[in-house]
Structure 1
């Protein structure tokens, strides 16, 4: 079953942000767009490149009204240690959530039970806490945050313009489509 169109389930976890441990719940994600970026483990190889790339796009995402959360099954203490030890992770200013109890990984169906880690999953939630976009990558394939920005812009456009859809490779400001009987077979 697809998770598209489903509302996030209740949760309460601890995270690390800007030198502090913080509590985050499902209610904190409501009222704004959110990106949840699951990754397998701290102190690993592909993960820091992805999270640094996400940080590089963080100001752009915030300008779109989007808050970012990275999530692994490591503890919030491990997140702090990684933040202190890694030059790439040390740049991060968004919240790094601990899913040590596997609640979020199970809720978003990305937990690899046999290993106790999450798959590389990216989820875009609208202000109602409803999943609008998600993708899962194999462990060895890193994500590109610039493509995430484009997906969020399209999701926001569609939400704000009922009856219109964004075609493939759509960029902000480009023409959209209005599905109708007149378009059938003409695209």
Structure 2
């Protein structure tokens, strides 16, 4: 069953952000756009490349009013240790959520039960706490955070312009479509 259009389920978790431990709940994902990025584990190989890449896009995402949260089944203590010991992870300024209880990973349907780790899942969540887009990759396939920018711009455009939709490869300022009987079979 797809999570698109579903509200984020309740959770409470500890996280690491900018040298502090903080508590995060599903309520933190409301009132603004959010990206939740699940990854298998700290101190691994593909994960730091993805999280560093996401940090590279973080300033642009913030300009769009988007907050970023990374999540793994490691604890917030492990996130701090990784942040303190890895050059790539040491750059991260967004919130790194620990999910050792697997509640959040199950809520987002990305938990690999037999391994106790999460799939590589990326979720775009609107200000109402509703999932608008998601991408799940196999463990060996890293993600490109730059694709998030246009997806979020499209999601924001559609939200702010009811009755319009964004076609493939849409970019800000590009033409949109207004679904109607007149368009059927003409695209």
Alignment TM class, shorter chain as reference:
over 0.9
Deviation sequence 1:43-78 (CA, Å, 0-9, x none): 000000000000000000000000000000001010
CA-based RMSD of the aligned residues comes to 0.4
* Runs ≥4 residues deviating over 2 A: none
SS at match of 1:150: helix
Structure 1 residue ranges without an equivalent (≥5): none
Q: Distance in 2 between matches of 1:135 and 1:29?
A: 18
Structure 2 residue ranges without an equivalent (≥5): none
SS at match of 2:51: helix
Quick check: 1:89 aligned with 2:89? yes
2:54 equivalent in structure 1: 54
1:29 equivalent in structure 2: 29
Structure 1 length-normalised TM: 0.99
Q: What's the offset of the Cα at 1:29? A: 1.1
SS at match of 2:121: strand
1:10 equivalent in structure 2: 10
Q: Distance in 2 between matches of 1:119 and 1:108?
A: 10
Deviation sequence 1:121-177 (CA, Å, 0-9, x none): 000100000000001000000000110111011000000000000000000010000
1:154 equivalent in structure 2: 154
Q: Distance in 1 between matches of 2:108 and 2:26?
A: 13
1:101 equivalent in structure 2: 101
Q: What's the offset of the Cα at 1:13? A: 0.1
1:174 equivalent in structure 2: 174
Q: Distance in 2 between matches of 1:122 and 1:97?
A: 14
Q: Distance in 2 between matches of 1:145 and 1:170?
A: 17
1:80 equivalent in structure 2: 80
Q: Distance in 1 between matches of 2:112 and 2:24?
A: 23
Structure 2 length-normalised TM: 0.99
